[in-house]
Structure 1
Amino acid sequence: MSVPNDAARVESLRVLSQFRTDFSVCLTARHDVLFELTDALLCIEGPVHTLVGLALAPEHRRGHGALYDALNQGSLEVQHLRSTLAGLPLPRSAEGRLMLAVDVSPWLRPDANTSPDRLFCHVHGRAKNQAQMIPGWPYSFVAALEPGRTSWTAVLDAVRLGPHDDTAEVTATQIRAVLQRLIEAGQWRAGDPDVLIVCDAGYDLARLAFLLTDLPVEILGRIRSDRVLRLPAPAREPGTKGRPPRHGGELRLADPDTWPDPDVSTVTDTSRCGTAKAIAWDRLHPRLTRRAAWLDHDGDLPILEGTLIRLTVQWLPGDRKPEPIWLWSSHTDAQPSNVDQLWQAYLRRFDLEHTFRLFKQTLGWTRPKLRDPYAADRWTWLIITAHTQLRLARTLTTDLRRPWERPAPDGRLTPARVRRGFRHLQPKTTHPASAPKPAKPGPGRPPGSKNRQPAPRHDVGKLTKRELTVTAHKQHTG
C-alpha cells in the first residue's frame, strides 16, 4: 500500500469520522460510556490486562462503576452496526473478488459456574500441548480477507454459539445475512465473481454448500487427509437393467493407488515455501448418509460435486516438515489459474488468526470476567468496532516504533502499531460523547450484610442432542 497524498488522507479521515458518528448512533443506552470505553480501548498505552484499567485512560471521563454498568445494562443496535460495517471499503482479490473467512474463536470461561450458555470449546496448545475441551463461549466470526500476506482483516460479523445451536446451520445463516448486507450496500452486483467463503478443517463443507446453493458463493475449505470421496457415476451402458449408479469409484486421500490422473496440475514458485505443486480432480463428491444432519432431508440425498485439490510445498519456515494439504471447492470445471487462486486464497485464511491474537492479547477481548453472556456480546462488538477504526486509520497514523523494532515499510503498519499512534489521531476525529455530569456513587450493599440471592449455577454443554440413526429419529418423531 502506497503512502496516501493529502486528498487521500482527508478522505480517509472523513470515512473514519463518519464511522465513529454512525457507531454512536448504534448506541441506544449508556451511549456516552460505551463510546468512551471504545476510545479508551484504542488510546490506552500497551495491552489491555484488566477491564477496570480502561477507566484510568484520559479518554474515559467517567468512573469504573459506569464502565461495568454500561456493559451490563447498555444497549447496542447490532443490526445497524452490521449494516454500517458492510458499507465500509472492503479489501478484494486481484480479480476484484470478495473473499470471506469464517472461523470460531472461543472466549474461555472454565471457572464461571454462574455464567449460562457455556459450551465445551476445542482448544490447542494447553497443558501438555494436547487438544482439550474447556468451557467457554464460542464466537463465529466472518471477516473479509486481503489478497496479500498481512495481519489485517475486515471483521463483518460475530455470533455467539449457544447450547441449542447447530454450527453448520448457524454458519450458513450468518453467511447468508452477511452476503445480503453486502448486496444491499453495493459491494456485490450481478455479474461480479461469486463470493469466496474460506473455511478451515472442522466445517461440514458439503452441507454448507447445500444450504447456500441459492447464493452466489463458492465454498472452499480444508478436509482431513483420511477422507474418502467418490468419482462421478460412470455412463450407463445400453441395455443395462436396474437402477443407475449414483456414485463412481472411491478416491481415498490416504491411498495414492486410488487416485486417477488429475485433471489439473500446476507448479508455482513461492518466496517462503519454495516450489508449490497443486493437482486437482474435477467433479468429486462425498457420499452422504442418512444420519445426523441429513435425517430430516426429504427424497434422495444430494450429489454435491466439487473440485478436490492437493497442495504440496518444497519446505516450510522454521524447518518444519511439509505435509500435503487437501482442499475441496464447491465449484467444478476449475482451470489451472482457478486452482492457483483457490489454494492461495486458502492460505490467506490464516490472516484471521492474527486478528484473533490482536483481540485477545492486545485489545483484551477475553480479559473481562463478565457473568452475563449478553454483556459479553456487547463487549465483543466494542472490540470489533475498535478494530474497524484501526483499519480505517492504518494510513493516517505515524509509526511510533520502539528502538528494538524494525522500521515498517510505508503503508504497512500492523494493527498494534496503528493503535500505538491512534491517541494522536483521536482529537482530529468526531466526538459524539457528551461531558460527564457530577454524580455520587450509590450506597452499595451495607457493610456486614450477606448476599441472600446467590447466582444460579449452570451446566456446560449442548442441550439439544440429535439422533444418530434413522430408527431412533423415527421413534422420537413418532
Structure 2
Amino acid sequence: MSSVAHTRAAGPGDTPPRRGDLAWFRQEFYRSLTARADALFELTDAVLCADGPVRSLVDLTLVAEHRRGHGAMYDALGQGRVELQRLRRSLVSLPLPRSTDGRIVLAVDVSPWLRSDAPTSADRLFCHVYGRGKGQAQLIPGWPYSFVAALEPGRTSWTALLDAVRLGPTDDATALTADQLRATVGRLITAGHWRDGDPAILIVADAGYDITRLAFVLADLPVELLARIRSDRVLRGPKPSRIPGTTGRPPKHGPEFALNKPTTWSEPAHTTTTETTRYGTATATSWDRLHPRLTHRGCWADHDGDLPVIEGTLIRLHVEHLPGDRDPKPVWLWSSATGASATDIDRGWQSFLRRFDLEHTFRLFKQILGWTAPKIRSPRAADRWTWLIIAAHTQLRLARPLTTDLRRPWEKPFPPGRLTPARVRRGFRNLRPRTALPASAPKPTRPGPGRPPGSRNRKPAPCFDVGKTAKPALTTTIRQ
C-alpha cells in the first residue's frame, strides 16, 4: 500500500478509516519528528510489532523493526523533537467516529503516569489512585496527563485520541482543560469536521471536573458539556417571578434542590425508560434550568462583578442492576444545555456511558503498549514517549480494517471490523511492509567511550519536591 495524497471528505459517512489513511498518517508522523526522526519512528514501529506487552525500552531495541542500538534509542528520547502542532493537525485530519445522529462526542479524562520512586524527576504531582479494596484511595507521586478523545457509538474498546497535555505544578486543572478543549474544538472546525448548522459537539467528563466553570469559559464554542456530579450537591432552581406589590431586593436564585433529599425535588421535566441488555431497565429523570450557587472563592475568587447564573439540565439515571451489584445507586449528571427534550436526555446519558471506553484505551496504553513502563527521568522525554504511544495507537485504529485476525486457538473469532486493539497489533507486523516506510537505514558507527572505569559521577542529578509549587494568593473575598 503506497503513500498517496490524502484528501478528506468531512461528514458522517467519513467515519470508517480508508485504505490510504494509514500510509498518509505514517508519512505525516515522520515529518513531525524534527530531530532524531529515524530513531523515534522505528521505536514506534517496535512498539507496534513487539511480541507481547512492552516491559522495558531496551527490549524494544531487540525487535527486528528497530534497526538501531539502544544508545540511539535513549538519545532519541532525550534529545529528539516532535512538532506537536503538526501532529495534532494530522490527528484531526483523519476520519473521526460520530454518534448515530452525526454528532461528534469528545471525552476528556486524566490518567497518571506514577513515578513514586523517582526523586530526581521534576514536575511530579500527587495523583489520586484507587486501590483494590473499598476506601483504599491513595495519593502517589507521578505525572498526570489530560487526554481528549473522540468516542465511537456502541460498546467498543476503540477511541480516537486527539490531544494530550501534562499537568504541571503551576497549572490550574480547570483552566488547562478549558484551553485544551478550546484548541481541540478549534482544530476540528478548521479541519471541516463541524460546520454551521451541525449539531453541537458533545463533551463528556466524569466527576472531578468543575463542569460549571468549563461551561462558562467555553460558552462561545458550539459545544455542550455533560459530566457526572456528586450525589450530595445542592443546586438552585430558576429565579421565581416577582409578585406584584412586593418590596425589597428580588431573589437571584430559586428554591434549593438537594440531590440527597427527595423532599426538595420539584416536578421533573421528562422521565424516560430504556431496556438495556447489560443494565436492565434504565430510568432517566431530568429537571430543566438548575444551577449551582457560586461564591467568590476557589476559581471564582478573582471574578469581577456579580457571579453568573449558569443554568443547565440535571439528569438522574437509575439502572436495574450492575455487574455484581443488584441495588446500584443512581448517577447524577449535569448538562450545560437547557430545554432538552426526552430524546436529548436519552442521548446524553448513553453518551456518558460511552466515556468509559476511554478507560480501555488507558489500560491498553499501560498494560500492552508500555506507556508507563520506562523509567524516564525528564518530563520532556516523558512527553515525547507519550506522543509516540498516541501515534502508535492511531496507527492501530487506521489498520483496523486492514489487519487479518491472528487469533489463538482458544480465542473466539471476531467479525470483520470488530477486532480489539490488541488483536490488530498482533497482525501489524505483516501489514507494515505494505505501508509507508520513510525511515532511512542506519549508518555504521562505533559506541562512545562512556565514563572511564573507576571514575565517580561528579554531577549527581538534583532532587525535586512533589506537589504544587504555586498557590493562589487570594482564596476568599468578602464582598459588601
The aligned residue for residue 89 of structure 2 is: 83
Counterparts of 1:250-289 in structure 2 under 5 Å? 250-289=256-295
**Structure 2 SS opposite 1:269:** strand
Q: Deviations over 1:203-249 (max 9, x none)?
A: 00100000101101101000000000001111001122222111000
Q: Does 1:384 align with 2:428?
A: no
Q: Deviations over 1:380-433 (max 9, x none)?
A: 000000000000010110111112211112210000000000000000001000
Is the CA contact 1:52–1:64 (under 8 Å) kept in the aligned structure 2?
A: yes
Q: Deviations over 1:114-140 (max 9, x none)?
A: 000000000012587610000000000
The aligned residue for residue 8 of structure 2 is: none
The aligned residue for residue 248 of structure 1 is: 254
The aligned residue for residue 336 of structure 1 is: 342
Is the CA contact 1:227–1:252 (under 8 Å) kept in the aligned structure 2?
A: yes
Q: Does 1:179 align with 2:185?
A: yes
For 2:69, the aligned partner's letter is: G
**Structure 2 SS opposite 1:72:** helix
- Runs in 1 of length 4+ with deviation above 4 angstroms? 126-129
**Structure 2 SS opposite 1:125:** coil
Is the CA contact 1:139–1:160 (under 8 Å) kept in the aligned structure 2?
A: yes
Q: Does 1:97 align with 2:97?
A: no
Is the CA contact 2:17–2:401 (under 8 Å) kept in the aligned structure 1?
A: no
Q: Does 1:468 align with 2:475?
A: yes
Cα deviation for residue 320 of structure 1 reads 5.0
The aligned residue for residue 9 of structure 2 is: none
Q: Does 1:50 align with 2:56?
A: yes
For 1:305, the aligned partner's letter is: E
How many Å separate the matches in 1 of 2:441 and 2:126?
43
Q: Does 1:448 align with 2:448?
A: no
**Structure 2 SS opposite 1:326:** strand
The aligned residue for residue 149 of structure 1 is: 155
State which of 291, 307, 310 in structure 1 corresponds to 2:313. Answer: 307
How many Å separate the matches in 2 of 1:107 and 1:11?
30
How many Å separate the matches in 2 of 1:14 and 1:119?
41
How many Å separate the matches in 1 of 2:414 and 2:400?
12
How many Å separate the matches in 2 of 1:436 and 1:394?
30
Q: Does 1:324 align with 2:317?
A: no
Q: Does 1:120 align with 2:126?
A: yes
Aligned-pair identity in percent equals: 69
Is the CA contact 1:115–1:372 (under 8 Å) kept in the aligned structure 2?
A: yes
**Structure 2 SS opposite 1:285:** strand
State which of 143, 146, 150 in structure 2 corresponds to 1:140. Answer: 146
For 1:326, the aligned partner's letter is: W
State which of 203, 220, 235 in structure 2 corresponds to 1:229. Answer: 235
How many Å separate the matches in 2 of 1:113 and 1:305?
45
Cα deviation for residue 104 of structure 1 reads 0.2
**Structure 1 SS opposite 2:61:** helix
How many Å separate the matches in 2 of 1:444 and 1:153?
43
Cα deviation for residue 469 of structure 1 reads 1.3
Q: TM-score, normalised by structure 1?
A: 0.95
Is the CA contact 1:126–1:132 (under 8 Å) kept in the aligned structure 2?
A: no
Q: Does 1:73 align with 2:83?
A: no
Q: Name whichever of 307-316 and 234-243 sits farther off.
A: 234-243
Q: Does 1:297 align with 2:303?
A: yes
How many Å separate the matches in 1 of 2:94 and 2:337?
29
Aligned length: 465
The aligned residue for residue 36 of structure 1 is: 42
The aligned residue for residue 375 of structure 2 is: 369
How many Å separate the matches in 2 of 1:465 and 1:320?
44
Is the CA contact 1:12–1:396 (under 8 Å) kept in the aligned structure 2?
A: no
Q: TM-score, normalised by structure 2?
A: 0.95
Is the CA contact 1:122–1:131 (under 8 Å) kept in the aligned structure 2?
A: yes
The structure-2 alpha-carbon separation of the partners of 1:342 and 1:405, relative to structure 1 and needing over 3 Å to count, comes to same
How many Å separate the matches in 2 of 1:243 and 1:199?
37
Cα deviation for residue 319 of structure 1 reads 4.0
For 1:394, the aligned partner's letter is: R
Is the CA contact 1:12–1:393 (under 8 Å) kept in the aligned structure 2?
A: no
The aligned residue for residue 162 of structure 1 is: 168
Counterparts of 1:426-445 in structure 2 under 5 Å? 426-445=432-451
Structure 1 portions without partners, runs of 5+:
1-7, 474-478
Q: Deviations over 1:97-126 (max 9, x none)?
A: 000000000000001000000000000125
How many Å separate the matches in 1 of 2:357 and 2:84?
25
**Structure 1 SS opposite 2:149:** strand
Structure 2 portions without partners, runs of 5+:
1-13
